[in-house]
Amino acid sequence: MVSENASSLTGHLPNGLAVVEEAVARACMEARRDRASVTLIAVSKTFGAEAIEPVIASGQRVFGENRVQEAKAKWPALMSVHPGISLHLIGPLQSNKTKEAVALFDAIHSVDRPSLCEALAKEFRSQARRPQLFVQLNTGEEPQKAGVAPSEADSFIASCRDEYGLPISGLMCIPPVNKAPAPHFALTAKIAARNGLKNLSMGMSADFAVAIQMGATHIRVGSAIFGHRG
């Protein structure tokens, strides 16, 4: 038993996951944070079961997908043979997919508009499921990007709670590409703190160490674990 555990932790970790795990542990140590305070979400979008299986086999249990349809096609079969998987929706959610999303996902990171809140509240009433909810911020105020503008965040978070009765657990952000991510992580952390939200979904393959330094509780790491997406 002991040698089996030892080999599954050393010899058989898929290379990308081992490298990421080590970097996460180092970033936590440098930030004087407990490793358990950071949830690593392995973002498996575009990858099939044959790529996901070894990552599950190595002990990873939290996965992220950005499309409801793709996740529906892949995960029910994987989850039926691997108990204890937690699935996070990290991409935009269309209101007409809310029913499927609430049924499948354990967390939704892309709450960003009243019509979606209304659809989520309806599903929370009719399904016995309560995925953890994150409000997505558009910290770079990029017109093509989803998310709530920083100036509207406080009132949106309040309306999620007060008008729709949705428990919001944290904030998510995707900094603009080719910009230093730290100011975006700092702004997200500041808005979360003043709204009493303790979870911060921020940091991807290129910048998760910075995000951990700035308080991320959930990092969303794809290519550093699975390799380049085709």
Ligand X SMILES: *Cc1c(COP(=O)(O)O)cnc(C)c1O
Task: Tell me which residues touch ligand X (CB under 6 A).
Answer: 43, 45, 66, 90-91, 174, 204-206, 220-224
Beta carbon nearer to ligand X, 121 or 142: 142
CA–CA separation, 82 and 187 (whole Å):
37
Beta carbon of residue 39, minimum distance to ligand X (angstroms, whole number): 13
Least Å distance between CB 172 and ligand X? 8
CB of 104 closer than 8 Å to CB of 127: no
Q: Which is nearer to ligand X, 18 or 81 (CB)?
A: 18
Q: Nearer to ligand X by C-beta: 158 or 206?
A: 206
Q: What single-letter amino acid sits at 177?
A: V
| Alpha helix (H) residue ranges in the chain | 2-9, 15-30, 49-57, 68-81, 98-104, 114-126, 150-162, 182-194, 208-213, 223-226
Find the residue with minimal CB distance to ligand X. 222
What is the token pair recorded at 105? 């996902």
Least gap, CB of 219 to ligand X (angstroms): 9
| Smaller CB separation from ligand X, 159 or 205 | 205
Give the whole-angstrom CA distance, residue 60 versus residue 183: 30
In the complex, minimum distance from the CB of residue 42 to ligand X, in angstroms, rounded to a whole number: 9
